[in-house]
Structure 1
Amino acid sequence: MSRPVTNLSAFDNAWYDPGRSLGVRLAWMAVNRVFLQTWMPWPSTVKAGLLRRFGARIGNGVVLKNHINVKYPWKLTIGNDSWIGEGAWIDSLANVTIGSNACLSQGCMIETGNHDWSKPAFDLIVREVVVEDGAWAAVKSVLLPGSRLASHAILGAGSVLSGDTEPYGIYVGVPARKVKERSIDSVG
């Protein structure tokens, strides 16, 4: 008896709606390439302004470093005073919400799309990702579709998050597991 096999020729994501016309998507690709995916040190205010023009909701004081990539800005929300580090990748096939005072460090990846490996056609799956206020996704960490990095939680360097976390938890590893509580010294 033969086992079922993957059949990528049957892949069909015609149901998926990227949220904007092909012309707008092509215009965004050009702007993204020139202003965000470059090592040219464009000011964060310029990059934030361009993201807003394409529908992103960007708060005040957001720091956008060089060589970042945003798939669809109209599916992106970033709160006040958050930082997006060099080489960050925000693959916003679904909504991505980043709270205020949150940080995505260098090379961090937010993935909202995946594939259903149990289906022969490798069906597309999209789910939102949330990074709450004060959370930090450290260097080269990955947040998979449906992940939520809770308020003031930390995802350690190189860790992979799939699912939910607790506020102020510190998560490390592949898959990420809680290892301790975050404490923040009071100012005064």
Structure 2
Amino acid sequence: MEETQIILYDKSKIQGKNVFKINKEEVLKKAREGGNLHFTKEELGLVDEIVEKNLLIIDQINQHSHNTKERRELFSQLYGYQIPETTDIKAPYNADVGCQTFVEDNVFINKDCFFMDLGGIWIDEKVKIGPRVSLITVNHAEDPNHRDDLITGSIHIERNAWLGANVTVLPGVTIGENSIVGANALVTKDVEPNSIYVGSPAKKLRDLRY
């Protein structure tokens, strides 16, 4: 995986000290760990650089026609690792950071999805995600004096779960194994395994019958 580093300041030529650097993976890991990020100005600058770089890949995904293999390679560039051959992600697609999403085998992600993935999104094998689904891992503080503070909470979609069209999942939520979330639902809390949830906010309708 490519490592991005930014030199913050260099006193080595004057005082013979080491060059201080910010490491891309350390900053992204900090975001995935969740809570109030308290990013420094330099860390925010690095995130902005990552966003700008990945936006070019997202534009390429959305503005040109690609077959499944070509699209998979572009998503591999965006995510920073090789997408499984059994996974299919449709275009158009959008994301804020783009490289904090981790997908496994046999995942299907339909058109027009938006992943705000700074806080980390994990999608297990055999997950199905319908069109126009939004996965949101970033929030802001309630206090108006700290409204610019970024608060992250990772999203985990467990094996064989299915999100219907236009579902929105908020930060820190886990969608349990095999569960179904009905179209247009707003998921604010964890979804139990082997269950069906509907509504806004989403509530349990019943257990799966199979």
Q: Which category describes the TM-score, using the shorter chain as reference length? A: 0.7 to 0.9
In structure 1, give the amino acid aligned to 2:75: L
Structure-2 residue corresponding to 1:112: 137
Structure-1 residue corresponding to 2:107: 82
> 1:172-183, aligned counterparts within 5 Å?
172-183=198-209
Q: Do the aligned partners of 1:76 and 1:97 also contact (CA within 8 Å) in 2?
A: yes
Cα RMSD after superposing both structures: 2.4
Q: Structure 2 unaligned segments of length 5 or more: list them.
A: 1-36
The 1:74/1:156 distance shift into structure 2, 3 A limit, reads same
The 1:151/1:15 distance shift into structure 2, 3 A limit, reads farther
2:69 aligned to which of 39, 45, 55: 45
2:170 aligned to which of 141, 144, 149: 144
2:156 aligned to which of 95, 115, 130: 130
In structure 1, give the amino acid aligned to 2:59: R
Cα distance in structure 2, aligned partners of 1:57 and 1:89: 20
Q: Do the aligned partners of 1:57 and 1:77 also contact (CA within 8 Å) in 2?
A: no
Structure-2 residue corresponding to 1:3: none
For 1:77, what is the secondary structure of its paired residue?
A: strand
The 1:72/1:58 distance shift into structure 2, 3 A limit, reads farther
Structure-2 residue corresponding to 1:155: 181
Q: Mean Cα displacement is larger for which, 112-121 or 62-71?
A: 112-121
TM-score by length of 1: 0.80
For this pair of structures, how many residues does the alignment match?
A: 171
Cα distance in structure 1, aligned partners of 2:105 and 2:161: 13
Cα distance in structure 2, aligned partners of 1:170 and 1:120: 39
Cα distance in structure 2, aligned partners of 1:19 and 1:77: 23
Structure-1 residue corresponding to 2:93: 68
Q: Do the aligned partners of 1:56 and 1:74 also contact (CA within 8 Å) in 2?
A: no
- What percent of counterpart residues are identical? 20
The 1:19/1:177 distance shift into structure 2, 3 A limit, reads farther
Q: CA deviation at 1:25?
A: 3.3
Tell me the alpha carbon deviations over residues 75-123 of structure 1, each in whole angstroms, 9 at most, x when there is no partner.
1111111111110011111110011110110100000001122352213
Cα distance in structure 1, aligned partners of 2:195 and 2:44: 33
Rg bigger for which structure? 2
Q: Mean Cα displacement is larger for which, 142-151 or 158-167?
A: 158-167
TM-score by length of 2: 0.73
2:125 aligned to which of 96, 100, 104: 100
The 1:181/1:65 distance shift into structure 2, 3 A limit, reads same
Tell me the alpha carbon deviations over residues 41-100 of structure 1, each in whole angstroms, 9 at most, x when there is no partner.
422322222232341463231111121113333211111111111100111111100111
Cα distance in structure 1, aligned partners of 2:96 and 2:184: 22
